[in-house]
Amino acid sequence: MEHLRILTEKVFERLQHHHLSAKTITLKIKFADFRQITRCTTHSEAFSDADQMLTLLSSLLELSLTDQPAVRLIGVTASGFDHGPQITPQKTGSKPRQLPLHLEN
């Protein structure tokens, strides 16, 4: 459970560093027999702290480990990002710019 706490704190710190918040967290578990499972949960509101994320991830982990072989790897990801207020062209006074694709036939 300590590894899950460390992973969760790292993910939350990265979100804060990039000024993001996430509504979805995903837990990936790889077992000793090389099977893997992925479990996720999505909230209507973004997660406000690492403890909130850890509580849900711990529940997902406990539900996923019933009658399973030893765990060899655990991963935590966040998605469903909220980037904060968006800057629109009307606010900046500039027009959106479209880049050419330069596709060849």
Residue-by-residue pLDDT tens, the chain, 105 positions: 789 999 999 999 999 998 899 999 999 999 999 999 999 999 889 999 999 999 999 999 988 888 888 999 999 999 998 765 444 444 555 566 666 767 765
pLDDT of 86 reads 43
pLDDT of 57 reads 94
Which CATH class, in words, describes the domain spanning 2-79? alpha beta
pLDDT of 90 reads 46
pLDDT of 93 reads 55
Helix (H) or strand (E) holding 30: strand 21-31
Structure tokens at 32: 């000793």
| Cβ proximity of 14 and 76 under 8 Å | no
What angle is formed at CA 20 by the lines to CA 64 and CA 41, rounded to 5 degrees? Answer: 20
Q: Model's pTM, two decimal places?
A: 0.72
Q: Could you tell me the residue ranges of all domains in the chain? A: 2-79
pLDDT of 46 reads 92
Secondary structure letter of residue 31 according to DSSP: E
Helices (H), the chain: 2-17, 50-64, 89-92
Strands 36-42 and 71-82: unpaired
| Cβ proximity of 80 and 22 under 8 Å | yes
pLDDT of 81 reads 87
